[in-house]
Amino acid sequence: MPNEIKGLNEECGLFGIWGADNAAQLTYDGLHSLQHRGQEGAGIVSNENGQFHRQRGLGLLAEVFADPQKIATLPGTAAIGHVRYATAGNHGIKNIQPMFFDHPGEGQFALAHNGNLTNATQLRRDLTKKGVQFQATSDSELLGELIQTSSQTNFIDQLKASLNQLRGGFAYLLMTPQMMVAALDPNGFRPLVVGKLANGAMIVCSETCALDQVGATFVRDVEPGEIIIVTDKGMQIDHFTTDTHLSICSMEYIYFARPDSVIRGISVHEARKRMGAAIAKEAPVKADVVIGVPNSSLSAAIGYAQASGIHYDMGMIKNQYVARTFIEPTQAKRVRGVSMKLSVVKSVVAGKDIVLVDDSIVRGTTSSYIVRLLKRAGAKSVHVRIASPVLKFPCYYGIDIQTTKELIGANHSVPEICQLIGADSLAYLSVNGLVESIGALNDQPNHGLCTAYFDGQYPTPLYDYQAGFDADVARLGLYEGAN
Ligand code: AMP
């Protein structure tokens, strides 16, 4: 759905296991620690000697599997699962993964996807011409349809040929009766890791926090362009392309991933602390106390406090029982959502000069609400420090910010945003500061990171999205106006 205003979106989470008696239960446990990557729907497919069983539904994992009997309907020693965060207009059970496909050689296969394809419109058009009838509306289905219509003769060759037709960001988990297969796009936009249980069961999942959850040890990151094939004989590493350019999504480090995860050897929590420390150096301010916006900004706030010497305190509380507010359809609902979610500890802020650290500003809803809340609680001044650069370009690789229209940073200068959110001062981390804080991933350009949201340097052509992007750039003068 390029060029339409869509709800801003999080990502999806993947977990798959091969070779464990309680595969579905372990998949549930792993997905539970990936719930932050998607709260709209969840599903698990188990593999019992080649026979597939599936449970899926809308809502949180615990809601979908509220009936404890449901896990018991998923027998077998292998399973793959998915947590999904969909956009407005794209809801519905049919889009909840894993999806099923028939296959002449394998009988059947299941598929789960994290990411966003940039050539989905074109692929959908080509497949429709071939007579393909789609099960659902999300682009996740396309890989399954490409495999089904491939002229190659075995599943792995069909998969490789199909993956080579995809553009954009994708991490996939597939399961046939005989194997579990993981694949990562040539830029490695999304994290994907391999782990192992003591009994030899192999796991592939989105983040290392899910490995910790099920007591597995980390084996390796899935590399861009790779496919990992797990069968009863063990794990085999193959690739569908060697034309790869690592550009892992910097938003994973800034906001999406859980702080206890490690992405390509870098602790997310430590990277966030370094981002906080870096903005403290770049934009120092005299204040009495540093507070963070719970929960995603707490690591950066600790980093800011440590680097500045200003003490850190728990100035805000998050009500743990409020789910997502971010993709509510109207501004009024979003404001109400934020107000239900966050509250101030008055004793910490009253009469104080405050540094308020947040990980990012998207529309500005959260920061303007919090600044007002802090002032109402008696704060003398509120200095907002954002531990990432100004977010002004859309993302087309799996973080569903595909329009500039709602991005406050695309439409206003930093002094204007400061005024709009009612802060006494506002500063963002520089792009260099961000890249250095995350740390050099390798010797590739931009240290193997995608920073397109901040600098418009997209690591791949945009295909379906190019025309809309060009129109946005022309309308907003984005590159010239870069601050
Ligand atoms: P906003 O209130 O629209 O400015 O959103 C900013 C807040 O949402 C920040 O505090 C972030 O923690 C969080 N955030 C940033 N990016 C996303 C995203 N793509 N999806 C959901 N929440 C986000």
Q: What does the DSSP assignment read for 132-199?
A: ---SSSSTTHHHHHHHHH--SSSHHHHHHHHHTT--EEEEEEEE-SS-EEEEE-TT--S--EEEE-TT
Same domain as 359, residue 461 = yes
Q: Is the pLDDT of residue 287 over 90?
A: yes
Same domain, residue pair 162 and 301: no
**Is the residue at 367 inside a domain?**
yes
**Contact in structure between 4 and 87 (CB atoms under 8 Å):** no
Looking at the fold, whether 202 and 105 belong to one and the same domain comes out as yes
Q: Is the CB of 141 within 6 Å of ligand 1? A: no
Q: In what order do the strands lie in the sheet with 51-58?
A: 51-58, 41-48, 78-84, 13-18, 202-205, 193-196, 217-221
Residues 6+ apart with CB under 8 A from 247: 187, 188, 189, 444, 446, 448, 449, 450, 459
Q: Does ligand 1 lie within 6 Å of residue 395's CB atom?
A: no
Query: Which atom in ligand 1 lies closest to the alpha carbon of residue 251?
Result: 16
Whether the predicted pLDDT of 447 surpasses 60: yes
Mean pLDDT of 47-59: 96
In this prediction, residue 463 carries a pLDDT of: 92
**Closest-CA residue to 222 (of 171, 165, 168):** 171
**What are the pLDDT digits (tens) for 157-185?**
999 999 999 999 999 999 999 999 999 99
Q: Is the pLDDT of residue 5 over 70?
A: no
Q: In terms of Cα–Cα distance, which of 217, 294, 222 is closest to 263?
A: 222
Q: What percent of the chain has pLDDT over 70?
A: 94
- The stretch 130-146 carries a mean pLDDT of 90
4 — pLDDT class (breaks 50, 70, 90): very low
Q: What pLDDT does 91 receive?
A: 67
Predicted local confidence at residue 22, as pLDDT:
97
Whole-angstrom distance, CA of residue 205 vs CA of residue 184: 12
Q: Is 365 in the pocket of ligand 1 (CB under 6 A)?
A: yes
- Mean pLDDT, range 343-364, rounded to an integer: 97
Is residue 104 in a domain? Answer: yes
Tell whether 294 and 229 lie within a shared domain: no
Q: Check if 12 is active-site.
A: yes
Mean pLDDT of 230-253: 97
pTM: 0.94
Is 470 labelled a binding residue? no
Mean pLDDT of the chain: 91
User: Are 235 and 285 part of one and the same domain?
Assistant: no
Which CATH number covers residue 237?
A: 3.60.20.10
**pLDDT mean over 264-290:** 98
For ligand 1, atom 9: residue with the closest CA: 360
- Are 277 and 241 part of one and the same domain? no
**Number of domains comprising the chain:** 2
Residue 305, phi-psi category: left (phi > 0), alpha (psi -120 to 50), beta (remainder): alpha
Q: How confident is the model at residue 411 (pLDDT cuts 50, 70, 90)?
A: very high
Q: Which atom of ligand 1 is nearest to the CA of 366?
A: 2
Q: What local confidence, expressed as pLDDT, does residue 333 receive?
A: 75
Residue 359 in contact with ligand 1 by CB distance below 6 A: yes
Predicted pLDDT of residue 7: 36
Residue among 442, 459, 472 nearest 169 (CA) = 459
Better pLDDT: 452 or 445:
452
Question: Residue 329: its pLDDT value, please?
Answer: 59
Query: 417 and 380 in one domain?
Result: yes
Residue indicated by tokens 């393909």: 132
Band the pLDDT of 90: cuts 50, 70, 90. Answer: low
Q: Which of 245, 277, 294 is the last residue of a domain?
A: 245
Which CATH number do you get for residue 410? Answer: 3.40.50.2020
How sure is the predictor about 320, in pLDDT bands with cuts at 50, 70 and 90? confident
Give me ligand 1 centre to Cα 325, in Å.
Answer: 9
Task: For ligand 1, say whether the CB of 268 is within 6 Å of any of its atoms.
Answer: no
The kind and range of the H/E element at 44 are: strand 41-48
Q: Is the pLDDT of residue 88 over 60?
A: no
Domain that holds residue 239: 13-245
pLDDT of residue 399: 75
Q: Which residue has the tokens 């719930």?
A: 35
Residue 453 CA to ligand 1 centre (angstroms): 13
**Do the Cβ atoms of 206 and 194 come closer than 8 Å?**
no
| 367 CA distance to ligand 1 middle (Å) | 10
* Lowest-pLDDT range of 128-142, 265-279, 389-403: 389-403
Amino acid at site 248: I
- Paired with 100 in beta bridges are 110
Query: Under DSSP, is residue 12 helix (H, G, I), strand (E, B) or coil?
Result: coil
Q: Are 213 and 288 in a shared domain?
A: no
